[in-house]
Structure 1
Amino acid sequence: CDRGYVGAKVVLGANIILPKKALKRDNRYQRDKKRKLCKRRAAIEPIIGHLKSDFRLSRNLLKGQVGDEINVLMAACAWNLRKWLIATAIFLFWQKVGLCMVRSRYFSIALSKILSVKI
């Protein structure tokens, strides 16, 4: 379980919530909200790790804050392009096999789940 950076409680106006034992004064809604936020952060960290290792986000050769932003956007675009290419390859494979015509409705639902968008 990732505990995050323990040092600061507030960074640029954003509260840092660390996973820890629930307080007695917290009601069920507050507990569930904190738990959901921590799970959400834990879900995004593997993606950031893949961006760093596979899409060259670990080292930035561009200058300044604008260069950092450009580098992150290029890595995110490469990530999304890879997802689209994989989904297109799956679609073309099943179309070539001929199963896409029979179950095109179910396939488009599965394809939209892979891409995380509505078709």
Structure 2
Amino acid sequence: MEKKILLAACALGFLAIIFGAFGAHALKKTLTIEQLNSFETGVKYQMYHALFLLFIGVTQIITLKEKTIVFYLTLTGVLFFSGSIYALTTNGLTGIKSKLIGPITPIGGLLLILSWGYLFYVILTKK
């Protein structure tokens, strides 16, 4: 499982750099400042959680079961949160309906909060 977590962390980081460069260069001419700021927020949260998963993958303070829970909460949270922000900010280019995507963003945020909260609880209750 640790290898899976580390590979996911690397993939999220790799893609965050690509999306960041894409936003800064290719989308700069087509999106508004507000949309670019939102897109950048998605990139930042994706990178923060790539680093978070790197920590989860290598730490020995939590069990494999606990790592698995944090991993799935975080990965799903990033996909929902950052993914929906990418879709919402580029909907003028892609034609994706924002009414379908909009509610996914806060669900992703909640999953990210739960991943950190669960990790806090697990560490707090360790003997």
TM over 0.5, shorter chain: no
What TM bracket, shorter-length normalisation? Answer: 0.3 to 0.5
Higher Cα Rg, which structure: 1
- Comparing both chains, which one has the higher relative contact order based on Cα–Cα distances under 8 Å and sequence gaps of 6 or more? 2
**TM-score relative to the length of structure 2:** 0.37
